[in-house]
Structure 1
Amino acid sequence: MNATRSPEHDHAEADARLAAALRERGQRVTSQRLVIGRLLRELDRHVTAEEVLRRASEQLPGVSLPTVYATLDLLAELGEARRVSVGGPVLYDPRTEDHAHLRCRSCGAVFDVDVPFDTAVALRAAREAGFAPEAAEVVVEGLCADCAAAARG
Structure 2
Amino acid sequence: MKGTQTPAEESAAEARLVAALRERGQRVTSQRLVIGRLLRELDRHVTAEEVLRRASEQLPGVSLPTVYATLDLLTELGEARRVSVGGPVLYDPRVEDHAHVRCRECGRVEDLDVPLDAGRALGAARAAGFAPETAELVVEGRCAACAAAG
Quote the residue 1:146 is aligned against.
145
Quote the residue 1:121 is aligned against.
120
Quote the residue 1:68 is aligned against.
67
Kindly indicate whether residue 19 of structure 2 is the aligned counterpart of residue 20 of structure 1.
yes
2:103 counterpart letter in structure 1:
C
Quote the residue 1:80 is aligned against.
79
Kindly indicate whether residue 33 of structure 2 is the aligned counterpart of residue 34 of structure 1.
yes
> Structure 1: which 5+ residue stretches go unaligned?
1-5
* Number of residue pairs the alignment of both structures matches: 146
Quote the residue 1:130 is aligned against.
129
Report the Cα distance in structure 2 between the residues aligned to 1:129 and 1:114, rounded to whole angstroms.
29
Report the Cα distance in structure 2 between the residues aligned to 1:69 and 1:18, rounded to whole angstroms.
17
Aligned-residue sequence identity (percent) comes to 81
Kindly indicate whether residue 90 of structure 2 is the aligned counterpart of residue 94 of structure 1.
no
Under a length normalisation based on structure 2, what TM-score does the superposition of the two structures give?
Answer: 0.94
- Please say which structure displays the higher CA radius of gyration: 1
* Aligned CA-pair RMSD: 1.0
Structure 1 residue ranges (4+ consecutive) displaced by more than 4 angstroms after TM superposition: none
Offset from partner CA, 1:77-112 (integer Å, 9 cap, x none)? 111010000000000000111110000000000010
Report SS of the residue matched to 1:45. coil
Quote the residue 1:3 is aligned against.
none
2:127 counterpart letter in structure 1:
E
Kindly indicate whether residue 70 of structure 2 is the aligned counterpart of residue 52 of structure 1.
no
Offset from partner CA, 1:40-73 (integer Å, 9 cap, x none)? 0000100000000000000000000000000001
Report SS of the residue matched to 2:33. helix
